């Protein structure tokens, strides 16, 4: 059975995907083009740098290194202004139920996120104490769908990859979990996350029986 769980952050634990979207959209609009929710799907699980490259491609912009770095900073400052106002009311429904059930069973938990803001966000919403290991955008070099982020998480928890399950809302994240040979659990649109081993719209659909079956 599954011996450890790894959680993505954005779009799984908290709905920060909407703030990332707003910050990228603000930048696009400032540069004079549109950025749609559909295009935003491609940004989920993708590093800040890679997102900016894709955004500039969409708008047909090229940038000097200096300009590129400035836009990265601008986007993050904009994003952080949204994060600033977050509190535990922005934890997605039933996430604490699942976290505390797994904790009560003594199951080790890790965070596996591409975000460099992960620790600050967990602190904001008071969920930091649940996690035995944080693997975030500051500790990985290879982006999802590369399995690095989840493999480091498994290794930090002292569990082999096949004994881990991953909660993910991004296609790249499900692919990363599959590439790590972990159990992949898609949270969100089943059509987008069809490669996952299991699919749920959100944590309200995850019951204790499902978790018990995985860990037994």
Hey, is 171 helix, strand or coil?
helix
Beta strands in 8-151 (DSSP E): 109-112, 133-135
| Annotated binding-site residue? 100 | no
Q: By CB under 6 A, which span of 44-52, 151-159, 186-194, 202-210 interacts with ligand G6P? A: 44-52
Residues 117, 79: Cα–Cα separation, whole Å = 10
Residues 197, 208: Cα–Cα separation, whole Å = 18
8 binds Mg ion, rule: CB under 5 A: yes
Q: In the range 167-206, which residues lie near Mg ion by CB under 5 A?
A: 169-170
Is 163 in the active site?
Answer: no
| Annotated binding-site residue? 115 | yes
| Annotated binding-site residue? 41 | no
Q: Which residue has the tokens 């081993």?
A: 197
Which of the listed partners (Mg ion, ligand G6P, none) does 161 bind, with a CB threshold of 5 to 8 Å by partner kind? none
20 binds ligand G6P, rule: CB under 6 A: yes
**Tokens at 60, concatenated:** 């047909």
Which of the listed partners (Mg ion, ligand G6P, none) does 43 bind, with a CB threshold of 5 to 8 Å by partner kind? ligand G6P
> Which residue from 115, 133, 178, 184 is in contact with ligand G6P, where contact means CB under 6 A?
115
> Which residue from 51, 86, 134, 140 is in contact with ligand G6P, where contact means CB under 6 A?
51
- ∠ CA 15-86-129 to the nearest 5 degrees? 85
Residues 71, 17: Cα–Cα separation, whole Å = 19
Residues 192, 169: Cα–Cα separation, whole Å = 9
Q: Which residues bind ligand G6P (CB under 6 A)?
A: 10, 20, 43-48, 51, 76, 113-117, 137, 170
Residues acting as catalytic residues = 8, 10
């Amino acid at each position: 059975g599954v011996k450890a769980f790894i959680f993505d952050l954005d779009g799984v634990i908290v709905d920060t995907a909407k703030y990332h979207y707003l910050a990228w959209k603000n930048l696009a609009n400032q540069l004079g083009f549109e950025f749609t929710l559909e295009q935003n799907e491609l940004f989920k699980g993708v590093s800040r740098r890679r997102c900016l490259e894709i955004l500039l491609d969409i708008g047909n912009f090229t940038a000097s290194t200096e300009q590129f770095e400035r836009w990265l900073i601008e986007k993050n400052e904009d994003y952080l202004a949204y994060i600033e106002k977050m509190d535990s009311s922005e934890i997605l429904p039933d996430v604490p139920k699942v976290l505390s059930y797994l904790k009560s069973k003594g199951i080790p938990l890790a965070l596996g996120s591409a975000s460099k803001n992960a620790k600050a966000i967990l602190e904001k919403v008071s969920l930091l104490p649940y996690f035995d290991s944080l693997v975030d955008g500051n500790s990985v070099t290879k982006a999802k769908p590369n399995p690095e982020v989840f493999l480091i998480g498994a290794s930090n928890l002292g569990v082999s990859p096949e004994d881990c399950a991953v909660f993910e809302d991004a296609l790249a994240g499900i692919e990363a979990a599959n590439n790590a040979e972990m159990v992949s659990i898609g949270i969100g649109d089943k059509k987008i996350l069809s490669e996952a081993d299991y699919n749920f719209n959100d944590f309200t659909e995850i019951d204790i029986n499902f978790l018990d079956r995985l860990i037994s």
